[in-house]
Copies of this chain bind each other. A is one copy, B any other.
Amino acid sequence: MTGIIKRICTGVEIFFLGVAGCAVPLLLPDCAHAQLFTFSRQELADYTAQSSFDRLPDGRPKVPDDLLERARDLSSEEVWAVLQEKGFNNQYADGFQILHPGKTMVGRAFTVQFMPLRADVDDVAEAKAKQHGLQRLTNQTAIDMLQPGDVLVVDLFGKKVDGTIVGDNLFYYTMQATRQGGLVVDGSVRDLDGMAEIDMPAYFRAADPTPIGNVMLTGINIPIRIGAVTVMPGDLVVGDREGVYFVPPQVVKELLDRADEIHIHDEWTKKKFAEGKYKSSEIYGSPTDPKLQQEYREYLKKRLEEIRKQRNPQ
């Protein structure tokens, strides 16, 4: 069994977390001070104050489960339209390898940040940890904190070799813990064959046989950067065949309502196209003929009512 253990331990992940004197949940701000970058519960609350949703025990905004469910029908384009209007121009990341294209990813962002290992900073961190009777922070520390509905979002600065956040075992655990939430890593994964058999979405830059190493875990549920996006803990994460959107919780409700209309519009548009009587510009984006406009308005109203009834069947 030595071999197996050695295989695992070559992945050097560091920094420590308050455990000893800390109550559950693990990320209580008073305990987490040993991280290189801390983001206190109060800071998290302040910077996500626009969200009126409940909070998860770790302080993140909790986009409700029923909205998560509705978000499964979103496409990047619909998210784009609303975020653009709200002035959010930097919430989209792409260029990933996608594990299960066609399976939409939806969940709440659980963020993790790594930085390149640096021996002296590591030594100080270890000393601090010992002093408080604590253990080091590893990728598994973070993974153990995942909640149902989470998407694990990890900044590994695009690292391929030694930048593998999970293999198939931890990916399986993540799937169980998040109830098939998902994974976004600006870094790599390993055991891709094994992962391919596990039914959870994953977005990653590369696959590599090496375990994670030569890095240090510098923050959990702090603001992180994925590509050109600033991701906040608790963001709604939506991934499709194109890429991943990180949606601030406060715009989720409006975004979903607007998406309903867009779905109906697409439905109606294709129906009219299927009739084969119209040029595309007579129907799309908006019908040119007032009669068709009227027809569309009525269709929209009817379908919206149906959808709402379906959601609240009473």
A108 to chain B, nearest CB (A): 16
Which of A85, A173, A232 has the most B CB atoms < 10 Å from its CB? A173
Binds B, one of A52-60, A63-71, A207-215, A305-313: A207-215
In the complex, whether A253 has a CB less than 8 A from a CB of chain B is no
Chain B hits for A191, CB < 8 A: 75, 77
Q: Closest approach, in angstroms, between the C-beta of A132 and any C-beta of chain B?
A: 13
Within 8 A of B (CB), among A249-284: 250, 258, 261-262, 265-266, 269-270, 273-274, 276, 279-281, 284
- Scan residues 281-314 of chain A and give those whose CB is less than 8 A from a CB of chain B: 281, 284-286, 296-297, 300
Whether a CB of chain B sits under 8 angstroms from the CB of A117 is yes
Distance A4 CA – B116 CA, assembled complex (angstroms)? 28
Contact between chains at A209 and B284 (CB < 8 Å): no
Taken together as a complex, chains A and B put the C-alpha atoms of A177 and B280 apart, in Å, by: 9
**Judging by beta carbons under 8 Å apart, are B124 and A240 in contact?**
no
Q: How large is the interface on A (under 10, 10 to 19, 20 to 34, 35 or more residues)?
A: 35 or more
- B286, A1: Cβ atoms closer than 8 Å: yes
Residues of chain B within 8 A (CB-CB) of A92 are 209
By beta carbon, the residue of chain B nearest A259 is B3
Contact of A223 among B101, B121, B144, B230 (CB under 8 A): B121
CA distance A281 to B173 in the complex (A): 10
User: Which residues from chain B contact A47 at a C-beta distance below 8 Å?
Assistant: 36, 120-121, 124-125
Is A248 among interface residues, defined by CB-CB distance under 8 A?
A: yes
Q: How far is the CB of A13 from chain B (nearest CB, A)?
A: 11
A91 CA / B276 CA spacing, docked (Å): 34
Chain B nearest CB from A35 CB (Å) reads: 10
> Does chain B have a CB within 8 A of A167?
yes
| Nearest Cβ on chain B to A111's Cβ, whole angstroms | 13
If A3-B258, A10-B84, A50-B124 are given as contacts, then 16 extra A-B residue pairs at C-beta distance below 8 Å, sorted by A number, are A3-B81, A4-B286, A8-B284, A47-B121, A47-B125, A50-B120, A77-B167, A80-B209, A138-B281, A144-B281, A169-B284, A193-B240, A207-B241, A208-B242, A209-B245, A218-B223
